[in-house]
Structures are given as C-alpha cells and as structure tokens.
Structure 1
Amino acid sequence: MDALDDLDLRVSGCRACPRLVDWREEVARTKRAAFADQTYWGRPVPGFGPPDARLLIIGLAPAAHGGNRTGRMFTGDRSGDVLYQALYDVGLASQPTSVAVDDGLELYGVRVTAPVHCAPPDNKPTPGERETCRPWLVQELMLLRPTVRAVVVLGGFGWQATLPALAEAGWLVPRPRPAFGHGVRIGIDGSVGGGGPEGLELFGCFHVSQRNTFTGKLTPAMLREVLSTAARAAGLGK
C-alpha cells in the first residue's frame, strides 16, 4: 500500500464531524427509492485518481445519493455525469460515465478530491466542517507535491478551502488571497529553498452542480475549456 492509499483508508474511517456522520449514515439507511436494493457506502469518500497525478480537481463534497452511495467522488449523480463527460471529451478519462466503483473508469494524470469528504445535508457543509476536514486536503496535496502542476477548483466554497491548504502544504499563496471566479488563473509559486514543492497553476471554475448546469451558468463548453487549459498547464494531453 502506498502513502496515498493509506491516506484514503484513513479518510474513509473519519468520524470527526457529528452532524455529517449522522446525516451520511441516515441517508445510507433510508436510501432513495431508486437505489433501495443497493448497499450505500455511507462513509467519508476519499479522492480518486492516480498517485502521480499532474492535475488535481477539487470539488465541494460528495452527494448524498452519489458519492455517499457509491464510495467514489462524483460517481452516480448528475454532477459527475457532467464532469466525467468533459474529462473524457478532453482526453483525461477512459470513458464518459462514472456510475460505480467497478465500472472500469480510469483517469489519465488527474485526481479528483473534495475539501469535505462526507455528504452534508442540503449539499451545504458548514465553514467549521470545512476547517475540520482541511488537514486531509493538506496531506493529499503534500503527497501529490512531486507531480501536481495544476489545480482546478470547482466553486467558491472549494476555493476558500484550497488556498489555505496550499499554503499549509508549502506553496506560496499570494496575499491578499485571490478571489474566486470562473476562468480565473493564478500562478502559485513553490516554496523558497530546497525540499519544497514546484510552482503550479490554480484555476477557478463554476461548480458542476445541477443548479449551474441546468441554468446554463456552466456549459459543457465552458467546462471543457477550463479543463483543457489546466491540462496543458499541467503538461498533460496535447
């Protein structure tokens, strides 16, 4: 077992936030009618993707009947349908769908994670829950430091979690901290001196929530543009 696998295992056993533990487990017991015959994961959902990823995508939190059901980030819900279709379209995924952990999906040089690993009520974790969960993101970033060269953050909540996590993991985050916006691109320097991370490019993108995709605030073309630009910055693809 490598260090990232060990981190994923520890993440999946976390019980630090009582409200989130109660909610995710209640959802796993009651289920949605369409999934009544399935066994829900009902635990924190670890990141997904290779340990030498050059591009990291950071979302918000698992969906109650998506990641909380399947045990994989953005898997089994409409937000994931949009994200993985776009990753496939730009050559970063082996298939355009993500429905179950055993569906054969592979990501090419990309890892997907979240600042909050448990499904929250109403898809809204609290700032306190985000802060409690942040050490997991810091550790993940530190393990990816040798290879990661670009980060795409989906939404303002994730952006607010990512900037301090990058700083704790050794990158030099600009002060004042840059504001979130779709299409924002920020160069983040590596630490001064030996032993620190290389610099990376940080990208903002509207979240792939149904609210954004159904209203056209985020279109497939907009998402593909951010992902393809970030992939080039990370040294992936064409």
Structure 2
Amino acid sequence: MTTPIDPPRDCPLCPRLHDFIARHRLSHPDWHNAPVDTWYPAGGPKDVRLLVVGLAPGLRGANRTGRPFTGDYAGDLLYATLNEFGLSKGRFEARPDDGLELVGTAITNSVRCVPPENKPTSSEINTCRQFLLTSLDVMQNLRVILTLGKIAHDSTIRALGGRVAAHPFSHGGETEIGGLSIVSSYHCSRYNTNTGRLTEPMFHQVFRQISDLISQSGR
C-alpha cells in the first residue's frame, strides 16, 4: 500500500495524538483539530526549491488554523523573513485566508499532529516520518531544506537516509545528502527569541545562506 503525501484527517497511527486531537474537537469544534498538511506554492510540489521543516503544529497555532506556522508567534517571524527574502508574497495576517502565497517554498512539520505540551515521543516522530518521505518524493526540483530545531533536523536527516552523527544539528550549520543542501536553525519559537537564543539577525543570516545555496544550484 502506497503511503499518502499527507495523513488522513482521522489518522490513527499515533493513538496518543489521535486522542488529544479528539478531546480538542469536543472543546473547540471550530478549530482545525487534525493533521496539518504541507503547504505548497501555487504551482504545487514541482515548484518547490526550498522546504522548511518544523517540529509540529502548535495547539493554538496550526492546529487551530490548519496552516503551518499560522496563528502563533513562530509564524510571525518565519513569514516576515520569507517575505523579506522573496520566498512569499502578500500580507501575513495569521489566518489561512489572508491571501499570503509561498514562492518556490513549501512548509511542513516532522510531526503533523499537535502533541501535548509540544513534545512528541520518539515513536510518534518515527511513525510520522513516512509522510515526510512521501512529501520529499514529489518535490522533484527541491534544492535546499531548512530544519527548524534538532528534532526536525534529525528526522529529516533520517528521512534522507543519513546518519545523524554524520550530519549534526547546529544553528547555521550546512550539510549535504543526495544532492540536497540541509541548513539547520534554532526554531523560531517565542521561547527561543525571548531568551535571545535566536535573534532576528541570526535568523536572517540563515536565510542569506539559503538564498546563496538556491542561487548556486540554479547555475
């Protein structure tokens, strides 16, 4: 049986996450409360040159709105940066109907369902990796992957068949697997920015690296 690109709305593969979502469907029936699909540019997977991989949907962010990094602070920083570097266009208003469009970029999460306390288990990360794999398969023109945080980084490395020890996470780190460049960054979460672990200039520097890599791949 072929794995779908995105998990079904009532994906049963991770019982803990399935039950957590079910409880929130009762308390917040107007929320998305389901796995969050990869968001592609208007042209679909064939137009993707940069893939951004996060950890998992935020409870009141993507789990509420249904669009990656939409509805919480992490999205404010990410989408402002994407706009600045020409990787999105339009005005980000933290709503899935705000008209924002991605340019040559797709956004996904290593775990597609919201986990309690934003902490997926190793089993859940491993189980959900199959959807990252199928997503990578359809992005035939992909050149660069940005991994936000160590969990997203390690899961991406494993999805590409690499050894984590050979491709360790570090902010601003670059590595290559199978012709793809992987750039890692601290996650753009409110916690990381409030503590100074990640600053806006640090995040912009990562995107300058990415822009250079995309330019080089097109030569």
Kindly tell me the number of residue pairs found equivalent between the two proteins: 210
Q: 1: distance between equivalents of 2:164 and 2:131? A: 23
Match of 1:39 among 30, 33, 55: 30
Deviations 1:175-221 (A, max 9, x none): 84221010101122x3xxxxxxxx11110100011110111111111
Provide Cα deviations, 1:205-238, integer angstroms capped at 9, x if missing partner: 000111101111111111111123213312399x
**Residues 11, 222 of structure 1: CA spacing in aligned structure 2 closer, same or farther, 3 A cutoff?**
farther
Please give the TM-score of this superposition, normalised by the length of structure 2: 0.89
In 2, distance between residues paired with 1:174 and 1:124? 23
CA distance in 2, matches of 1:88, 1:120: 29
- Match of 1:158? 152
Residue 194 of structure 2, aligned match among 211, 214, 238: 214
**TM superposition outliers: structure 1 runs of 4+ over 6 Å:** none
Which residue, out of 48, 53, 70, partners 2:39?
A: 48
Partner of 2:174: 185
Distance change >3 Å, CA 131–CA 175, structure 1 → 2 = closer
Q: Give the Cα separation in 1 of the matches to 2:115 and 2:163.
A: 30
Shift of 1:135: 0.4
Q: Deviations over 1:118-160 (max 9, x none)?
A: 000000000110001010000001111x200000100001111
- C-alpha offsets along residues 40-76 of structure 1, whole Å, 9 cap, x if unaligned? 0110001112212000010000001111111110011
Q: List gaps (5 residues or longer) in structure 1.
A: 1-5, 32-37, 168-172, 191-198
CA RMSD of aligned residues (A): 2.0
Q: Distance in 2 between matches of 1:125 and 1:131?
A: 10
Percent identity over the alignment is 39
- For residue 7 of structure 1, give the secondary structure of its aligned residue in structure 2: coil
Deviation at 1:24, TM superposition (A): 2.0
Whole-Å Cα distance in 2 between the matches of residues 185 and 78 of structure 1?
Answer: 26
TM-score for the superposition, normalised by structure 1: 0.82
